[in-house]
Amino acid sequence: MEVKVVRNVLDVNAKMAAENRRFFAENGIFVLNVMSSPGSGKTTILEKTLTRIMPEIQSAVIVGDICTTNDADRLSISGAPVVQINTDEFGGDCHLAAHVIENAARQIDLAGLDLLIVENVGNLVCPAEFDIGEDARVVVLSVAEGEDKSVKYPLMFRECQACLLNKTDLLPYLDYDLEKARQYIDQVHPGMSVFETSAKTGEGLDSWISWIRERVAEKAGLQQQA
Amino acid sequence: MHEMGIALQVIDIATAAIPPEMRGCRVERVNLRIGKLSAVVVDSLNFCLEIATRDTPLAEAVFSIEEIPVVAQCRECGHEWQVARAVFKCPECGSGNLEMISGRELDVVSIDIEEQFGSQAQNQ
Ligand SMILES: Nc1nc2c(ncn2[C@@H]2O[C@H](COP(=O)(O)OP(=O)(O)OP(=O)(O)O)[C@@H](O)[C@H]2O)c(=O)[nH]1
Ligand SMILES: [Mg+2]
Ligand SMILES: [Zn+2]
């Protein structure tokens, strides 16, 4: 006997993510989901970003890693409250799911918060599949990873609104074709915002920070209207 | 990499779909639909399903996975086509303003349950 089901496998996560989104909207908090393969420079970019936007933009961070609190220790120096998630407690998950964000957000004092940044687990595949209730998604790609990552991992690049091409200070030492990397990104996601950055030297971070500022201001404005 | 989590979710959904009066019956087949753009590797999902269904009503079920192509429709000129080689630009007018029609599916569509139990009961 055939029984019709037609249920999305991730519907529980989607429901939780929608609840997170409503909750963050009520509090006027802009939520940014930062993803990349391991070591592209997410934490370094966030360290630099936080020191430049705090305390004007009140920020907090949820950072996911399979193990260690190294990233949380680095990010805490900015003064922003940081919650470290170690997914080995959840079976070594390769991504942060919506219920994990909901739990972590409870540990943060949300009063007066403008921006919540989620540094996802280093992985260019899985996190793209899981809605966490964020407002925007960005992917960091270091120039040492090659020009064609966007076409090899299209879901991630389709799902993100912006891409940071990081570690540009290394370009003199690499045979990396920036123009080609931009062409590939434009092919996978036409119109995607692309920022060339060096988290090491700070070069290119200005336009990235303006991008965040605009969106945080917009979200806060929406809450005041409501 | 999260195929085990997906497999467990599939098993939950399929098990919950067994009607109460058919509890104890074996599920013969689970029909799934998986979009080519989803972050699921079908081979690893099959492997995880095989392990995770042990000692469940799905232990002997065949998991039939229909892979769904990535199809987009241009919002500018209406052209619809199957996306290949990760080119998300309209081949007719060049626009990148697209509506994704399919490719992200990750659905349990239906289950087939053996009727032996019920029919045996009727025969007796
Ligand atoms: N040269 C150079 N090195 C960088 C830059 N950004 C980050 N790094 C280095 O790259 C390494 C990894 O950086 P992280 O910031 O830890 O990367 P991540 O993406 O947070 O890594 P995971 O959280 O483990 O996935 C560190 O040694 C950084 O110092 C950059 O712009 N230029
Ligand atoms: Mg990190
Ligand atoms: Zn078109």
- Residue B116 is predicted with a pLDDT of 67
- Residues of chain B above pLDDT 90, percent: 77
Mind listing the pLDDT tens digit for each residue in A10-58?
999 999 999 999 999 999 999 999 999 999 999 999 999 999 999 999 9
Q: How many angstroms does the Cα of residue A48 sit away from the middle of ligand 2?
A: 13
Q: Under an 8 Å CB criterion, which residues of A touch B?
A: 1-10, 12, 91, 93-95, 123, 125-126, 128-129, 150-151, 154-155, 158, 186-191
CA of B20 vs chain A CAs: smallest distance (Å) = 12
Nearest CA to ligand 1 atom 32: A167
Radius of gyration of chain A (CA): 18
A86 neighbors A68 (Cβ within 8 angstroms):
yes
Q: How confident is the model at residue A91 (pLDDT cuts 50, 70, 90)?
A: low
Query: Which chain A residue has its CA at the smallest distance from B113's CA?
Result: A1
* Chain B residues inside the 8 Å CB shell of A4: 109-110
For residue B107, the cross-strand partners are: A8, B33
Q: Which residues of A touch B103 (CB under 8 A)?
A: none
For the ranges A88-92, B37-41, B62-66, the maximum mean pLDDT occurs at B62-66
**Taking 80 as the threshold, does the pLDDT of residue B43 lie above it?**
yes
Poorest-confidence range of A118-127, A199-208, B31-40, B111-120? B111-120
Residue A137: both structure tokens together: 């998604």
Q: What is the CATH number of domain A2-219?
A: 3.40.50.300
Looking at residues B60-78, what average pLDDT do you find? 97
Atom 6 of ligand 1, residue of closest alpha carbon: A41
- Residue B14: pLDDT over 70: yes
The alpha-carbon gap from B40 to the nearest alpha carbon of chain A, in Å, equals: 8
Task: State the Cα–Cα distance between residues A53 and B45, nearest whole angstrom.
Answer: 43
- Predicted complex ipTM: 0.86
Nearest-angstrom CA–CA distance, B39 and A126: 6
CB distance A9–B106 less than 8 Å?
yes
Which residues are near ligand 1 (CB < 6 Å)? A 36, 38-44, 65, 71, 122, 166-167, 169-170, 198-200
> Separation of A144 CA from ligand 1 center, angstroms?
11
CA–centroid distance, residue A178 to ligand 1 (Å):
19
pLDDT at B26 over 50: yes
pTM for the structure as a whole: 0.93
pLDDT tens, A49-67? 999 999 999 999 999 998 8
Average pLDDT over residues B15-38: 93
| Domain edges within chain A | 2-219
pLDDT band, residue B123 (cuts 50/70/90): very low
Cross-chain residue pair A93–B14, CB shorter than 8 Å: no
Average pLDDT for chain B: 91
The beta-carbon neighbor of B89 closest among A8, A155, A190 is A190
DSSP string, A56-124: TS-EEEEEEESS-SHHHHHHHTTT--EEEEEGGGGTS-SS--HHHHHHHHHTS--TT--EEEEE--S-S
Q: Where are the domains of chain B?
A: 3-17+27-109
Q: In a 3-state reduction of DSSP, which class is residue A6?
A: strand
Q: Which chain A residue's Cα is nearest to B25?
A: A1
B57-82 burial by CB neighbour count: b if 16+ within 10 A, else e?
bbeebebeeeebebbbebeeeeeebe
- Considering only CA atoms, which residue is closest to atom 21 of ligand 1? A39
The answer to whether the CB atoms of B89 and A93 lie below 8 A apart is no
pLDDT digits (tens, 9 = 90+) for A143-165: 999 999 999 999 999 999 999 99
Q: Please tell me the CATH code under which domain B3-17+27-109 is placed.
A: 3.30.2320.80
